[in-house]
Amino acid sequence: MALTPGGQGRYTAGSPLPVFVSVQITVMPESFSDYPSRSPHAPEGKRLRVTELFFSLQGEGNTTGWPTVFVRLTGCPLRCTYCDTSYAFQGGEWWDLDAILTAVAAHEAHYVTVTGGEPLAQKACQDLLTALCDAGYTVSIETSGVLDICGLDPRVVRVMDLKTPASGEVEKNLWSNLDCLRAQDQVKFVLGDRADYDWAVVQVKTHQLAERCEVLFSPAQGTLAPATLADWILADRLPVRFQLQLHKILWGDTPGR
């Protein structure tokens, strides 16, 4: 496979390590139901489809600002209106689990985040999470909240969305996941308007989310003014954490940052 020089700190799946190369994209089926769980020659549970692997600052949640390795897996069953990683819906390349661990180790980071797309759409994601924990990293997963999180390795921090009405995917929330949130986890609402905010406030109170774990409120970029959301939170004395995406403040929408 030909290799193309790329951005600092990023790898294309399957490349020799630690060569810095750009992500190569191949065509994948548009329908998520047709999304392959593995390559024809890959042992079950030993490979994952990876869109990108990169080293950056964590932009969200309670580890914001910490140097972190991100493993972005390919594929997602959702099509949220505000999605900023649609390039991860398709494409990517198959990585052996050992190759992912080697690439992560090259960055000498303490924190690793597995994200997507929807990382749990690939069954081998759980193998990856456990392997990263076994290697001594502090591991988190960013997940949409529409797939079961209850069976994840207990060492993994779950950063789980609850999809709001403006996302267009509210009906797909898996509400049973709330019973599996722990104090070290985080539940995130991306809010597009006042109706989203009011809906989120009801969920926080009805499900006593602030008593379960940390609650994050984020404005959807370009849709809800950050200062407006901040004012609403203060006016209602909500026990939630307001957040902006640090990586976008620093680097905009550049992939791999």
**DSSP for 59-128?**
-SGGGTTSEEEEEEE---S---TT-S-GGGSS--EEEEHHHHHHHHHTTT-SEEEEESS-GGGSTTHHHH
Cis bond upstream, residue 36 (ω within 30): no
CA–CA separation, 56 and 66 (whole Å): 8
Distances (CA, A) of 90 to 28, 79, 127, 220, 252: 5, 12, 21, 23, 22
Q: Which residues contact 227 (CB under 8 A, 6 or more apart)?
A: none
Q: How far apart are CA 118 and CA 143, in angstroms?
A: 6
Asked whether residue 2 carries a pLDDT value surpassing 60, the answer given is no
Rounded to whole angstroms, how far apart are CA atoms 38 and 97? 12
In a domain, 24, yes or no: no
Q: Is residue 7 part of a domain?
A: no
Query: What percentage of the chain exceeds 90 in pLDDT?
Result: 76
**φ and ψ at residue 135, rounded to 5 degrees:** -80, -5
30 located within any domain: no
Does 33 map to a domain?
no
Whether 64 is in a domain gets the answer yes
What are the φ and ψ backbone dihedral angles of 77, each rounded to 5 degrees?
A: -85, -5
pLDDT greater than 90 at residue 17: no
**Residue 17 within any structural domain of the chain:** no
Which residue matches tokens 């502090």? 138
CATH number at residue 56: 3.20.20.70
| Per-residue pLDDT tens digits for 50-101 | 999 999 999 999 999 999 999 999 999 999 999 988 999 999 999 999 999 9
Q: Give the pLDDT band (50/70/90) at residue 44.
A: low
Structural domain tally of the chain? 1
pTM of the predicted structure, to 2 decimals:
0.81
Question: Is the residue at 217 inside a domain?
Answer: yes
Does the residue 58 lie in any domain?
Answer: yes
Q: Show the domain range for 74.
A: 45-250
Handedness of CA 28, 30, 31, 32 (dihedral sign): positive
